[in-house]
């Protein structure tokens, strides 16, 4: 979901503007912005898959299993939102959280 959300709107729009400014076609970024859209595109599909998975985990293992799976989804989502300052600390902490989650 994070990957699908990462380019929608802002980044795809900026890329399209830059391409057009230099005389290139913006068709690639325009199409991706449409394909990944939140309402019916890849982002919506990813969100629906997460909902189905979490519901399945709730049915199979209750609230604790669902929360465990949600935590993994959240880590994946946050992995694309790297802070601009103190990146070394962020990487070390993220790596630690990821390995802790994988080992449970």
- In this predicted model, which residue has the larger pLDDT, 80 or 66? 66
Contact status, residue 1 vs residue 77, Cβ threshold 8 Å: yes
pLDDT band at 95 (very low <50, low <70, confident <90, very high): low
Structural domains of the chain, count: 1
Token duo for residue 25: 């076609």
CA 75/CA 84 separation, integer angstroms: 18
CA 53/CA 8 separation, integer angstroms: 24
pTM score of the predicted model: 0.64
Structural domain including 55 reads 2-102
């Amino acid at each position: 979901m994070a990957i699908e959300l990462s380019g929608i709107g802002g980044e795809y729009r900026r890329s399209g503007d830059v391409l057009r400014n230099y005389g290139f076609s913006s068709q690639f970024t325009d199409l991706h912005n449409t394909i990944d859209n939140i309402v019916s595109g890849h982002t919506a599909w990813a969100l629906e898959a997460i909902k189905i998975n979490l519901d399945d985990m709730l049915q199979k293992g209750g609230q604790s299993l669902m929360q465990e799976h949600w935590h993994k989804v959240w880590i994946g989502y946050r992995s694309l939102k790297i802070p601009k300052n103190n990146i070394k600390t962020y990487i070390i902490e993220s790596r630690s959280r990821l390995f802790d989650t994988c080992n449970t």
